[in-house]
Structure 1
Amino acid sequence: MPSAAVARKKENLPSKTCAVCGRPFTWRKKWERCWDHVRYCSEACRAGRAKRVAQSSQ
């Protein structure tokens, strides 16, 4: 039994709203150390953000 592991039920996971598409997304294990810095729900939204900023500055 691992002492550092914390069991979480899926309905108790923290969630955020994507800065680009506005959809809610939930915590993932790979974001465990950087959850405070996560802003986008996917790579597509992260890449789309850069494209939108470049288009609006022209």
Structure 2
Amino acid sequence: MPRNANGRRTSNKTELPEKTCRACGRPFIWRKKWARVWDEVVYCSERCRRG
């Protein structure tokens, strides 16, 4: 993982997987909390899921 000027690790969000929300049509990117269920995630937020 690349490091910034302070020597800390940085993340490159352009490399993360992306999906489109089934409810609102907005794109959303992978989140760490979705790591185990990424294949099942279809909504960008709880609000869209409740629809």
The TM-score normalised by the length of structure 2 is 0.76
Write the distance in 1 (CA, Å) between the matches of 2:21 and 2:11: 22
Write the distance in 2 (CA, Å) between the matches of 1:30 and 1:9: 17
| Identical-residue share of aligned pairs (%) | 64
List alignment gaps of at least 5 residues for structure 2: 1-9
Partner of 1:38: 41
The TM-score normalised by the length of structure 1 is 0.68
Alignment RMSD, CA only? 1.4
Is residue 17 of structure 2 the alignment partner of residue 14 of structure 1?
A: yes
Runs of 4+ in structure 1 off by over 6 angstroms are: none
Name the structure where helix makes up a greater proportion of residues: 1
| Pair member with larger Rg | 1
